[in-house]
Amino acid sequence: MIKDLWDKINYLKNVMTSVSTGGQRIQNVNEEYKKVYRDVNTSLVKLKIDNPNPYSDLWEWYGKWSSGEMPQYKDRRTYLINLFKDLLMTIESLDENREKELEVELEGWDRIERLIGEIKNRLNEAQNEEQFQAIGLLCRETIISLAQEVYDKDKHPTLDGVEVSNTDAKKMLDAYIAVELSEGQNENLRKHLKSTLGLANELTHKRTADRKDARLCSSATINLVNIIRIINDENGTTPNTA
């Protein structure tokens, strides 16, 4: 999967930056780095793309930056930007057409579109537990904004008949789904909604949150947005501007 490869290449770049600029310790991340490096290298061989990163082990990278060639942090950052720039552009271009086919148009949902963009940016940059937890907060905020966008209290009565608060995303979306989808369809989507909210809440409070947790939560959130937008468009529902 091209997007997965792009994420892994960014992971390598971010870890190399971190260990060489006073961040993570090599002994704490080297095994995971070596594993991801092997995955990336295998994928690039299959795609017949040269791997510009010669450092399959972070101690090899340590030998490079500590040799005196890159005495300052800014030198190491610049080196890594240049090392990965062309490769990332190549991988991005491979996925460009595929992404356009799969992306759902979010025109009119400006806040949600901004939040999703921020989730993607944070996912590429996150390096520690607190940063991964912050992605959970963004996912939760995206789901709340999604619910506020489509829920209409006059059209979508709550399942228990009790008025919903403006931040109760699950209750609002449950009501929306019950009206906009047939009974057989809405049960599966409600399960997806519940699991996505569960992932966001768990990530937000998980003190050992890692990249995998953040990617799973982000993917589920974006998928939920896409599904609700498709329903919204196909049913001809006017975006909520209230």
Number of domains in the chain: 2
Same domain membership, residue 175 and residue 92: no
Same domain membership, residue 97 and residue 142: no
Question: Rounded distance, CA 139 to CA 71, Å?
Answer: 39
Same domain membership, residue 141 and residue 69: no
Same domain membership, residue 132 and residue 27: no
- On whether residue 239 sits in a domain, the answer given is no
Report the predicted TM-score, pTM, of the whole model to 2 decimal places: 0.57
**For 71-89, what is the mean pLDDT?**
92
pLDDT reported for residue 90? 82
Report how far apart, in Å, the C-alpha atoms of 127 and of each of 13, 17, 108, 153 are. 11, 10, 32, 41
Beta-carbon neighbour count of residue 147 at 10 Å? 24
Poorest-confidence range of 81-95, 119-133, 198-212?
Answer: 81-95
pLDDT reported for residue 103? 57
pLDDT reported for residue 101? 42
pLDDT reported for residue 242? 42
**Residue pLDDT, tens place only, 19-57:** 999 999 999 999 999 999 999 999 898 888 889 999 999
Single residue among 102, 124, 159 that ends a domain in this structure: 102
- On whether residue 45 sits in a domain, the answer given is yes
**Residue pLDDT, tens place only, 223-232:** 899 989 988 8
Same domain membership, residue 139 and residue 78: no
Contacting residues for 64 by C-beta, under 8 A, at least 6 apart: 55, 70
Same domain membership, residue 151 and residue 55: no
User: Distance from CA of residue 221 to its chain's centroid?
Assistant: 9
* Domain, as residue range, for 68: 2-102
